[in-house]
Structure 1
Amino acid sequence: MNFSCDYFELFGCPINYKIDLVLLDKRYHELQSKFHPDRYMRESLHEQRLAVQYVSFVNQAYAELKSPLFRAKYLLSLQSINFSDETHIVHDPLFLMEQIELREKLADIRETDQVSVALEKLKEDASLRYTEIQEMFEGQYNKNDFQVAFDSLAKMQFVSKFLDEIERLEEELDDF
């Protein structure tokens, strides 16, 4: 059990923004099976604790690499660039205006005749934008332009939160 390896090494993936999610899932299940605490019930208390710690490490690594947003944050952390949601400010006025417009559309969506259609369209547009920003991040990261990639990460955070808001509204509307 190696707690000092990076998450990509743990799952046998190259250090890259674009990863093979099928391989990630396969390796995750293999590691879960190999180090599941139930398999260590007959081992020493020390080895039982290590198995629990290792499974926790595997779970954390899997969650970080599975999420496009968390994977981007993790990649930058490997370059000693730590992203803090509270302290980073997006300075792109066009992007900020776009975010204001999207939030206004979301706020007005209940007033439309076709709420579910309008919500689905808004979600589709936001998802497309999220994918575009991810592709920008990947290109910037691959060019070692980490500061610009850091700005793209902040934009990803904005759009990810917006998609979460859409999802919450969908759940709320489904309850009625």
Structure 2
Amino acid sequence: MSLNFFTLLQLPETFIIDLKKLDQNYQNLQKEIHPDRFASLADEEKIASIKKAAQVNDAYQTLKSPIRRAEYLLHLHGINIHDEKYTAVPQDFLMQQMEWREELETHKQNKEALEKLANDIQKNKSEMLNQLPEYFESKNNLNSAIKVTRELNFIEKIEQHINDALIEII
């Protein structure tokens, strides 16, 4: 069984984490377990070192991203937000998402319009991210955390589509 990412990186199991401490703990762990330090040892020890380094990297990337961190916290509560039972999205968010996609398609070749859309979506994303700490602190509000985390996943996808469209323009 793999070690809890928060435990691995010596952080409290909360949504709000100290990112500087995350970076510092990650760097310290990487120095300890870097595969180059085990180059002269037996193959088993090298493989173990590589696996540990991969686990530390995975933990770091997960905890560094607020959306991945929210997903992981939900996972620790036994919730997989990609499970079928959590796929329902509120009607108003569905409509918002359709509007964003329509706007993206309409302005695919317009850099300024795409940047404005990206800004609008970023504001929306920030507001949603600001709600998550409260939902996780009061553990009885995990349904709201699930809803917001799923919506943030959708937002992340449309942001990627906008970035792709901006790259196409350049």
Decide: shared fold, TM above 0.5: yes
CA distance in 1, matches of 2:2, 2:57: 15
Q: Indicate whether 1:117 and 2:109 are aligned.
A: no
CA distance in 2, matches of 1:92, 1:43: 55
Q: Indicate whether 1:42 and 2:40 are aligned.
A: yes
Instruction: Give structure 1 regions of 4+ aligned residues with deviation exceeding 6 angstroms.
Output: none
Superposition map of 1:53-132 within 5 A: 53-84=51-82, 88-110=86-108, 115-132=110-127
Which residue number corresponds to residue 3 of structure 2? 5
Q: Which amino acid is the alignment partner of residue 131 of structure 1?
A: S
Does the 8 Å CA contact 1:28/1:62 hold for their aligned counterparts? Answer: yes
Q: Which residue, 127, 130, 137 being the options, matches 1:135?
A: 130
C-alpha displacement of 1:85: 6.5
CA distance in 1, matches of 2:169, 2:18: 35
Identity %: 33
C-alpha displacement of 1:86: 6.0
Q: Which amino acid is the alignment partner of residue 80 of structure 2?
A: N
Aligned length: 169
Q: Indicate whether 1:147 and 2:143 are aligned.
A: yes
Contiguous gaps of at least 5 residues in structure 2: none
Contiguous gaps of at least 5 residues in structure 1: none
Which residue number corresponds to residue 29 of structure 1? 27
Q: Which residue, 153, 156, 160 being the options, matches 2:156?
A: 160
CA distance in 2, matches of 1:127, 1:85: 26
C-alpha displacement of 1:28: 1.4
Cα separation, partners in 2 of 1:117 and 1:86, compared to 1, 3 Å: farther
Aligned alpha-carbon RMSD (Å): 1.7
